[in-house]
Amino acid sequence: MPARTRKTPQRTCIGCGEVKNKKELIRIVRTPEAEVLVDLTGKKSGRGAYICPNPDCLEQAVKGNKLAYKLDTEILADDKKRLSEELKKAISNEQ
């Protein structure tokens, strides 16, 4: 019997709509305590949405209210600013 090959999980970026490997994307999560965080581990509990490591994708997701819809919560201006800063920091660490 041949060895089984594992499927690579695919996720869709909510900013640009591209389907990519899960490991290529950054997860944004709404925790059970209703906090919205950047989840670099991809393992935090809560409702998640995926986004490309690209500031333009975050802007598209926030501007169109796609992120708020996917996370089923309201995203305040302070949260948007904080998420943007955290994402920029995560992107610069990846490169």
d(CA 95, CA 79) in angstroms, rounded, equals 24
What tokens appear for 86 in the block?
Answer: 């955290």
In this predicted structure, what is the pLDDT of residue 94? 65
Report pTM. Answer: 0.85
How far lies 35's CA from each of 3, 21, 41, 75, 82, in Å? Answer: 42, 26, 16, 10, 12
Task: Provide block-wise average pLDDT over 10 residues at a time, the chain (95 residues).
Answer: 82 95 93 91 92 87 88 88 85 71
